[in-house]
Structure 1
Amino acid sequence: MSLSALARYHAGLMPALTSYTHALTADQAARLRGLLAERGFEFMTKPYCLYAAARPKVNVLVYEKGPKVVVQGKETEDFVTNLLEPEILGEAKLGYEEVHSPEMFQPHIGVDESGKGDFFGPLVIAGVYVDADVTRRLREMGAVDSKRIGSDARIAQLAAEIRRTPGLVWEVISIHPERYNQLHAKFGNLNRLLAWGHAKIIENLLERVPGCPRAISDQFANPAVLQKALQERGRGIELVQRTKAESDPAVAAASILARDGFVGWLKTQGQRFGMEFPKGVSNNVKQAAAKMVETHGAGILHTVCKTHFRTANEIPQEFDSTP
């Protein structure tokens, strides 16, 4: 964080921090548990957590995957600055992001998608261009990876704030199921289709911000697939592919816009057909798909589902998956 931003943070001119996430080593996770016990935190069991603990105004969850710690509540900042950083992490980072991660505040594009693992609905790909001021605004509003936001209403709220952020440039491509099924057949697999969409988003944004030097996306299984898909302008910039790219505010904002587009489609089409389109590939999804087939015939799945999914062949009906 720049000195001016840091001063605003500690002067209380930026919103109070109510959520914080940081990776831990196994040793740090164990030491944090002991420290929480010493400080009188009440422990509880939570799904996917090594442990979870709470006291009034702050909750601490340490997840198995990573491991990582998530701190939530009105006293998040106090917990991080007075306990977590000095006692466990051994380094003061909160409020000093521009010192520790200057590349986050340099002009760049972030790209992400939503819907690729869902049987119903479109594949939505979004991109966001940011500079230092925009990055600060995104952090202030709480723009984080959409997978960390459990409420569709909160996704919609943040998406609206992102779209009206001064200086931010955004693009969204929504590939509705019928078109998605055609493109999947053309490209032969999801990775090439996804790379095409990412490359198109980058190209569209570079038409509007031609001086942008860099774009960030999540790591493709084969990084060359996206690199090869880049178009004329995209081939002239630095492309960064990395795991957990959503930790970058531009990618996080893109993930929110993409999720908002995906959730919006499910809601609109659910109203159109008078039923709920569930997310994912659960048994509820199969039941909803079977109901659609029973009401509208097997052909309806081409217009509302991704028919290359194995789920299409698990619907209790004879179903031809050829578009």
Structure 2
Amino acid sequence: MMKSLKLNNAQMNRFIGKTSHLHHQSPHQYEKIRINDDGIIFILYNSGSLVYEDNTQTRNFINGNLKDVFKYSQSKGQSNNRSHDKKSNDHKYQKRYHHKKRYPKKSKKQDDENTEESLNNSNILISKYDYTIGSDETGKGEWFGPLVVCAVATSNSENIKLKDAGVKDSKKLNKKQIMEVYENIMEMNIKHEVIALRPFSYNKLYNKFRDEGKNLNHMLAYLHSKVINMLLDEIDSEDTLIIIDKFDAKKMNEYLNTQSNMIQIENGERFIPVATSSIIAKYHYEKVLNELEERYNIRLNKKIKIRNIDKKILDKVAKTHFKNIAKHLY
């Protein structure tokens, strides 16, 4: 069933920015954008009318990416169902890792002291600025599931609150702790932007960059720059520090529209904004992974044998440029 609503100019621009990574079709007359991306369907008209398919895939995308663009109105009954679905998805998220090895709640004393010292030193640097933007991604090294890129913008006072809320290097958190800290972050209304590229969208974008003679690092620089640029539009201050991790500065500068201070540093999760981005990204990775598993009735993990996956859905659940996938697909 198709639904529609009216967007103002600001909402239209935000919608265009947040959906540019999806697969676009040639728009018809009077249409500004036409999107059909593995069940995610939008048509934006020049008049500002947005028509969308009211299906699970589109609703999930709206709830995960477009809440700040427009309010997704539903009837009371649908709203209750949606609340039930969220609880169900959260339960699946917890259940997925119920039998996995648990990490200790605390690291060794020396590790804790080193982590604390590293965080304190990092906070001294970022305290000199009104805002700090940090970004991170997850899913880059996995052949299955999405690629999720997140950026957050925080003030000095928010960095202190985030640390108190449990934000730290996500590698020191187990899956259950990541979910709990994520909920704490959401309660604080921290400015953040997320791009969750499902495999279908990921493969389209990767092939586009490949055809232009570019590689995965160019694509990552583009995605990180995209979420950072969206945050810069929201911040009412030019006194902003941007922290990026491991990317070639030339690639980032190609896509970033800013004169803000930018530093590149390894182990970026020492900084609270980067650590926050990592936690949010990992939460969304598992959320999308659960959605893919439910939709295609498949269990996606490192133990699954690729030859047992139907080739018809392989580009919907896997990153096809990985050698083990390409070998099976072609």
Could you say which TM-score interval applies, normalised by the shorter chain?
0.5 to 0.7
Aligned residues: 220
Query: Alignment RMSD, CA only?
Result: 2.7
Match of 2:180 among 157, 161, 171: 157
Q: Residue 170 of structure 2 corresponds to which residue in structure 1?
A: 146
Query: Judging changes above 3 Å, is the alpha-carbon distance between structure 1 residues 70 and 195 closer, same or farther for their aligned structure 2 residues?
Result: same
Deviations 1:244-263 (A, max 9, x none): 11110000000011111111
Q: Is the 8 A contact 1:104 1:135 kept in 2?
A: no
Cα distance in 2 for partners of 1:305, 1:173 equals 17
C-alpha displacement of 1:191: 0.5
Q: What's the TM-score, normalizing by structure 1?
A: 0.62
Deviations 1:129-172 (A, max 9, x none): 11111100111112112222222x22122112112215x21111
C-alpha displacement of 1:224: 1.4
Q: Residue 308 of structure 2 corresponds to which residue in structure 1?
A: 291
Q: Is the 8 A contact 2:191 2:231 kept in 1?
A: yes
Which amino acid in structure 2 is aligned with residue 185 of structure 1?
Answer: N
Q: Residue 47 of structure 1 corresponds to which residue in structure 2?
A: none
Map of 1:168-317 to 2, 5 A cutoff?
A: 168-188=190-210, 189-212=215-238, 213-220=240-247, 222-230=248-256, 232=257, 235-278=258-301, 282=302, 284-285=303-304, 287=305, 289-293=306-310, 298-315=311-328
Q: Residue 55 of structure 2 corresponds to which residue in structure 1?
A: none
1:104 is the counterpart of 2:126: yes
Cα distance in 1 for partners of 2:195, 2:153 equals 15
Query: Judging changes above 3 Å, is the alpha-carbon distance between structure 1 residues 135 and 311 closer, same or farther for their aligned structure 2 residues?
Result: same
Q: Is the 8 A contact 1:104 1:249 kept in 2?
A: no
SS at 2:309 equivalent: helix
Cα distance in 1 for partners of 2:163, 2:230 equals 25
Which amino acid in structure 2 is aligned with residue 120 of structure 1?
Answer: F
Question: Which runs of 5 or more structure 2 residues have no equivalent in the other structure?
Answer: 1-103
Deviations 1:264-284 (A, max 9, x none): 111122122333211xxx4x1
Q: Is the 8 A contact 1:135 1:249 kept in 2?
A: yes
Q: Residue 40 of structure 2 corresponds to which residue in structure 1?
A: none
SS at 2:149 equivalent: strand
C-alpha displacement of 1:299: 2.9
SS at 1:159 equivalent: helix
C-alpha displacement of 1:94: 5.9
1:70 is the counterpart of 2:118: no
Pick the structure with greater CA Rg. 1
SS at 2:282 equivalent: helix
Cα distance in 1 for partners of 2:145, 2:312 equals 15
Cα distance in 2 for partners of 1:176, 1:95 equals 34
Query: Judging changes above 3 Å, is the alpha-carbon distance between structure 1 residues 248 and 95 closer, same or farther for their aligned structure 2 residues?
Result: closer
C-alpha displacement of 1:314: 4.7
Query: Judging changes above 3 Å, is the alpha-carbon distance between structure 1 residues 138 and 304 closer, same or farther for their aligned structure 2 residues?
Result: same
1:137 is the counterpart of 2:161: yes
Query: Judging changes above 3 Å, is the alpha-carbon distance between structure 1 residues 261 and 59 closer, same or farther for their aligned structure 2 residues?
Result: closer
SS at 1:307 equivalent: coil
Map of 1:17-96 to 2, 5 A cutoff?
A: 60=108, 69-71=110-112
Cα distance in 2 for partners of 1:96, 1:144 equals 8
Query: Judging changes above 3 Å, is the alpha-carbon distance between structure 1 residues 183 and 95 closer, same or farther for their aligned structure 2 residues?
Result: closer
Query: Judging changes above 3 Å, is the alpha-carbon distance between structure 1 residues 94 and 203 closer, same or farther for their aligned structure 2 residues?
Result: closer
Cα distance in 2 for partners of 1:270, 1:150 equals 21
Q: Is the 8 A contact 1:121 1:262 kept in 2?
A: yes
Query: Judging changes above 3 Å, is the alpha-carbon distance between structure 1 residues 128 and 95 closer, same or farther for their aligned structure 2 residues?
Result: closer
Q: Is the 8 A contact 2:132 2:243 kept in 1?
A: yes
Cα distance in 2 for partners of 1:186, 1:59 equals 43
Map of 1:119-138 to 2, 5 A cutoff?
A: 119-138=143-162
Query: Judging changes above 3 Å, is the alpha-carbon distance between structure 1 residues 178 and 251 closer, same or farther for their aligned structure 2 residues?
Result: same
Q: Is the 8 A contact 1:178 1:304 kept in 2?
A: yes
Which amino acid in structure 2 is aligned with residue 223 of structure 1?
Answer: A
Which amino acid in structure 1 is aligned with residue 108 of structure 2?
Answer: V
Which amino acid in structure 2 is aligned with residue 292 of structure 1?
Answer: I
Cα distance in 1 for partners of 2:327, 2:146 equals 20
State the identity as a percent: 27
Q: Is the 8 A contact 2:132 2:154 kept in 1?
A: yes
C-alpha displacement of 1:96: 9.8
Question: Which runs of 5 or more structure 1 residues have no equivalent in the other structure?
Answer: 1-53, 62-68, 72-79, 85-92
